[in-house]
Structures are given as C-alpha cells and as structure tokens.
Structure 1
Amino acid sequence: MKTLGLIPARGGSKGIPGKNIRPLGGKPLLQYTFEAATNSKLLNKVILSSDDEEIIEIAKQLELEVPFKRPINLAEDSSSSLEVVQHALNYYLKQGINFDAVCLLQPTTPFRKAGFIDECILKFKDGNFDSLVSVRKVPKEYNPHWVFEENQGALKIATGEKEIISRRQDLPKAYHRDGAIYLTKTEVLLNENSLFGKNIGFVDTSAYPYINIDTREDWKRAEEILDNKS
C-alpha cells in the first residue's frame, strides 16, 4: 500500500498567532509531527501543505518536503481537511503519481508514541477499512446516551432514544477523535468525497499523554506534558 503522509499547517491562526511554528520545548510545533512521520517505515512520502511563506521556509530548513504552496482559498477558517487532502492528491495525479491512501497528521497534536503511525497503518491495511482515526474514550458523564439536546424549549436525549439508560454499567463505550491521525483510502477521498467513508477503523490512545492545541490554555498544558516527560 502506497501512503502519502500529509502535514497541514496553514498560517493565520487567531487563537495562538504563528502556532504551527511557535517554539515548544525548543523546537517549532510542526517539528514534532515531522519527526514522528519521518520515523515511520510505512509512509512512502511525507509533505507539508501550507499557504504561509514563513511556515514553508521553516519546513524546508527541517528538510520537510514542500512540493507546492497551498491556494489561499484552501487556507481559510472555513476550509475543510478534506479539501486540503484532495488538493494534494490531485497535485500528484496530474504528474501521474498515485497513492492508495493518505495519512493526515495535524501538527496541533504533537505527542505521538514511538511506532504509532506504523501501528495505525498496519491496522488500517489489515482491516481493509475505508478510514482509520485515533480516538480517546469519552468519560461516562459525557456519554452520548446521557447527553441532551434542546428541542423547542425542552430537552431530548441526543441519541434519539425515548428512555435514558439509567445504569452507568449499561452505557456502551463511546469515543471522540483526538486528531493525532486520519488515514483514508484515496478512492474514498476522491470518489466518495469523504474523509471517513462507511467502514471506520480506530486506534484508542486513551492510555497516552494527549493535547490538541487550539487555545493558550492548551499550549500551557503541552508545556506541562513536556516538563513531566523530562
């Protein structure tokens, strides 16, 4: 299976200006993800997709391949990850280069255990999934069967059930995406116009340190995780 590793890093972050290249523990944030990707034995190519000249320059200093500059219309707040991945695939298709799958690696989730990417690729391949994502367990109190949605001034159970599951022990396991990895077949990305498809595999990362950096509080937490590691 030929897999493209894609690191998306646009400029213009509002919560933390310059987030993707801001130093964390003495190195640019995106370097953590680049190092994890280059340690993979199963990624056939690793590239950066960015619209920002400063990010591109730092990536090149790290020897991270930057084959193109991402169009501005794909670097807006409203731009989707799917569009970014499709743009990269179409860039290579025009050159006659095909990939069976894309591994999307967000730099805002910098802490991945050694061998994590290859573990995910092997499970993705062996399970013949449309896609595979990394997830973490949802705490029982936030389980979707215990979550309510507003419904015309009243509340309804978010899952659509008429009766709530009363016992904690009877709640099914629930997970949320942690952003560390998205693996998707090319045919699903291009032909189904989907980042997930119908058959979604997963790897549970609940046992490992985690942060998905979006706010200044998240950044402080990332620094704390690094301090604890050292």
Structure 2
Amino acid sequence: MNQQPRTRILAIIPARGGSKGVPRKNIKELGGKPLLAYTVEAAQKSKLIDRLILSSEDEEIMEVAKSLGVEVPFKRPEQLAKDQSGSMGVVQHAVEVLEQQGDVYDAVILLQVTSPFREEGFIDQAIEKFIKSESDGLVSVLPVPHEFNPHWVFETDKNDELKIATGDEEIIKRRQDLPKAFFRDGSIYITKTECIKKGSFFGKKLTYIESNPDLYVNIDTMKDWEKATNTLEKIKLT
C-alpha cells in the first residue's frame, strides 16, 4: 500500500528588535527567562515540526535564540523589520531564502513570541488538524463573547445611521440562536506554502483550533505584560 508523503512543516518564530509598547519585549525576562523562550520551548517539544528557525534583524535577539537552540539561518532585511512591516513579507522572505538553499516545505507554522503560553501538545494538535482537514490554512481562535457577536454589532452607513454589521435586516433576538463567532488569538497560524507565495495566510479553505482561554495573552503594551506575569503565576499554581 502506498503511503501519502509526509507533510513537511517549517516553523518560523518572528522576533524583530523594535518594540514601542514594551521595549525589547522579545528578550525581556518574564518569570526568569526571555519571553522568546516560552515559544521556543513549545516548538521544540513538537514531534511534527521538521525545522524551527528564527527570523530577526536584531543581533542580540539572534544570539539569545541561538543560546536557546534555535536555528538562525539568515539575518532579516531591515525593510522587513519596521513598525509597518507585516508578517506576510517576513514569512515569504524566509520561505524564499530556504528554497534557494534547496530546503522546501509543504506548509509553514508561524509562532508569535507575543503569545507565549500554549498547552503542551497544542502545536501538534493544530498541525494534525490542519493536515487531516486538507485545508489551506489553520488559525488558533477564541470565542467572541455573545455581546460582541457580529450579528449583534452595528456599524454606521454614509448617512451616519446604524445598520447590523452582517447586513441582516432584523436582529437575532435570542443569544442561543447566534452562530458561533471567533477571533484570532495570535498563538498559531499554519498555511500551505503555495498560499504564502500568493500572499495569503488563509487561502480559500480555512480551519481553526480553539485555544485555552485561561492562557490567552497577546503582549503589545505594559498592561499586557502585567497580564502575562499574572497568568504565569496562575500557571505555576496549577
């Protein structure tokens, strides 16, 4: 019996040096170790990631990553490390550089340092679902509170009058009748390489995996950093 070829997965941890909300946050110590270490350790426990690399333009971050056992096969171009630089350009650059070296992958998993807490095994659960679903992409999500469900959200039109954001004519009256709605929590993005090359993290068929809401934090400000510190204390107590 012919076996399906194994899906080759490249994991990329993006970590640029510039950060205004929390200066040097990627290597700032949280609970006695650099923030970067939490994502690195989660990725290193994966059995389904074929290669783990860091993308950064910052020499100090690159050295910290190497000390944690992460490959740093290139230095990110400065134009991809500015405030307005998006993740897509960073991932496309990494894929292109590695392919020029003859290292080709079927899919990329993007692991952001700013979402440090992931349950053990969560990364592999996400990869397994991505492969089994035969989707173009997968994102980790959390449920939207019902009061913020898009069917209950209003937006203004050109006359500054309110209309239901989904385009519905009538409001859904009962909470129980609302369809499920989710928001991206930033922990995991998985995408087929062919979609990355076309400039899309989602492709045409997108699936999802729900994160643990007790571990949710997305660090952008000092208030988020305080939340991460508090969350870490709760994790240590469990």
Which TM bucket (shorter chain)? Answer: over 0.9
d(CA) in 1 for partners of 2:182 and 2:166?
14
CA deviations over 1:93-151 (Å, ceiling 9, x no partner): 11121100000000100000000111101110011010001000000000011111122
- Structure 2 length as normaliser, TM-score? 0.94
Does the residue aligned with 2:88 lie in a helix, a strand or coil?
Answer: helix
Q: How do 1:84-123 and structure 2 match up within 5 A?
A: 84-123=90-129
Is 1:164–2:150 an aligned residue pair?
no
The percent identity for this pair of structures is: 57
The residue type equivalent to 2:178 in the other structure is L
- The structure 2 residue matched to 1:144, chosen from 139, 142, 150, is 150
RMSD (Å) for aligned C-alpha atoms: 1.0
3-state SS, counterpart of residue 12 of structure 2: strand
Hey, what does 2:10 align to over in structure 1? 4
Instruction: State the distance in 1 between where 2:205 and 2:144 align.
Output: 21
- Please state whether the residue corresponding to 1:69 is helix, strand or coil: coil
- Say if 2:203 is the partner of 1:224: no
Asked if 2 retains the 8 angstrom alpha-carbon contact of 1:132 and 1:203, the reply is yes
User: Out of 190, 196, 208, which is 1:183 matched to?
Assistant: 190
Deviations 1:156-205 (A, max 9, x none): 11111121111111110000000100000011111x32111011010011
Letter in 1 for 2:193: T
* 1:21 equivalent in alignment to 2:27: yes
> What does the per-residue CA deviation read over 1:193-228, in whole Å, with 9 as the maximum and x for residues that have no partner?
211101101001145421111111111011111111
Residue pairs, 1:46-85, within 5 angstroms: 46-85=52-91
1:215 partner amino acid: T
In structure 2, the residue corresponding to 1:166 is in which secondary structure?
A: coil
Name the TM-score, length of structure 1 as normaliser.
0.97
> What stretches of structure 2 of length at least 5 have no aligned partner?
1-6
Cα distance between partner residues in 2 of 1:81 and 1:55: 17
Please give the alpha-carbon distance, in whole angstroms, between the structure 2 residues aligned to 1:150 and 1:16: 34
35-44 vs 57-66, which moves further? 57-66
Alignment match, 2:132: 126
Q: Take 1:207 and 1:81, find their aligned partners in 2: how far apart are those partners?
A: 24
- Aligned residues between the structures: 229
Indicate the SS of the match to 1:21.
coil
Specify every segment of 5 or more residues in structure 1 that has no aligned partner in the other structure, as ranges.
none
- Mapped to 2, the partners of 1:52 and 1:180 lie a distance apart of 22
